[in-house]
Amino acid sequence: MDRILVRGVNWIGDAVMTIPALRALRRYHRDSELSLLVKDWVAPVFYENPYIDRILRYMDSHRGIIGKLRLAKELRRENFMIAYLLQNAFDAAFITYLAGIPERAGYNRDLRGFFLTRPVPYNREDRKMHHVDYYLELLKRLGIDAPYTRPWIRITLPRRLDARSSLSSLRRPVLGLNPGATYGSAKRWIPKRFTMVIREFMDETGGSVVIFGSTNESPISEKIISGFEDYRILNLTGRTSLDSLIPLIGECDLLLSNDSGPMHIGYAVGTPVVALFGSTDPALTGPLGYRDIVLKKDIHCSPCFKKSCESMLCMDEITVDDVMDAIRRLIPRRKAVFFDRDGTLNRDPGYLRDYSEFELYPGVERLRYLKEAGYMLIGVTNQSGISRGIVDEGFVKEINNIYIEKYGFDDFYYCPHHPDEMCECRKPEPGMLYRARAIYNIDLRNSFVVGDRESDLILARMVGARAILLRRGKLTEHDDADYVVNNLDDVVRLILYGS
């Protein structure tokens, strides 16, 4: 088995934006072992990443000439065949050269071309694309198929439940607040305006606020909440590691953030983001979620990319009303019932490939009663037969549209990927539900997931919805099921009347 080394980047936001490139490398090197070398402080971004096999840490002990020689010696013992350098620095090429890695690929910049065996031409225009595309472009120029995919940070169910427990005392909806930015003060919105947003948000929604930040940003958070005596504000500034921060942001209903690492975590875990941009450019580092809102004013001097600024005009022009208007657009208000398809709404023949195999279960037509009671009806189905070449994608869409056109469903999502893709949308991963939440402002914690398989029940647990197990096959009981029913009529009765 070939061993592949990827030199990762050094900042949290940049690390998130390399995830699609890692996915492309995993697809290209399916049978190889992929190791990621990163600084210790960004490693938690990749703890649950399915595209890499190992994380190697670039430690403080690797600083200086002696440290670099020590790291190169450690890497040499690993017998890597190829090194992909996502990091731009001279250091990345020099160390892999010293390590004797036969093939070293990266952008030819920062005077490191001599140490690369596959230098990729670089010009300043390359840095004018979004950073996700910048890392994918490197792979494309190396002849690797690297299509755009959304950055996704996987969070296991136990970690989600731990984070949910930490926020259990807070009233919903929960607004996550990230008022800091490590890069510099020019990226930070005015603290007193965060204070005003907190007050308006809690007054309007009856919800709560949780504040995130590093220990160094504690003075900012303290200034924001000074004078508040409200149990609905949870200040976690300086009290979270990156590892614990990720699922906590994932458990927020929305996130208000400056352009910073937590902003990138927000969209990468599926949380709707309101992002505040001043000195930096959202075209380069803006959020890439299902439905995020960027607030940036058209100021003549922005983006300047300065760390600090005397006037701060770009941030000053963003008003509290601007932010509250954006928050109101993202607040989850509607409720929905999500249905698995094959085995729940219609008979499951294994792979549904033609109309001769399509057989509706009784009760589908009565699901309209749920709509009359205010619930949206949304289908969510895994369709790996598409990627396996067994099922025609057009046929999948035709079947899904039957539910929309004839039975009142509001939308129907499907995951076309092979399980080996380890995508965010294949149940029990919650990507399809997060997409629906973003588009329709669905309150997942006031919604239901109905299905006949374990993946449907775990999906409900992942997002905090209530799980209804429909007895159709072998699965008749499950610990993750909140309710167990026998047919679709039972589903309607349960949701409408509680029995």
User: Which residue is catalytic, options 133, 259, 292, 342?
Assistant: 342
Peptide bond into 173 cis (omega under 30): yes
Report DSSP state, residue 422. -
User: Which residue is catalytic, options 340, 348, 452, 456?
Assistant: 340
420 is catalytic: no
443 is catalytic: no
Distant-in-sequence, close-in-space partners of 53: CB < 8 Å, separation ≥ 6 = 33, 34, 35
Distance between CA atoms of 248 and 236, rounded to whole angstroms? 10
Report DSSP state, residue 26. H
Distance between CA atoms of 258 and 240, rounded to whole angstroms? 18
HSE-CB of 481 using CA atoms within 13 angstroms: 16
- Structure tokens given for 65: 């000439």
Distance between CA atoms of 335 and 84, rounded to whole angstroms? 45
Name the residue among 491, 327, 319, 345 with its Cα closest to residue 404. Answer: 345
Contact 256, 163 (CB under 8 A): no
- Structure tokens given for 412: 């129907």
Contact 433, 458 (CB under 8 A): no
Residues classed as catalytic: 340, 342
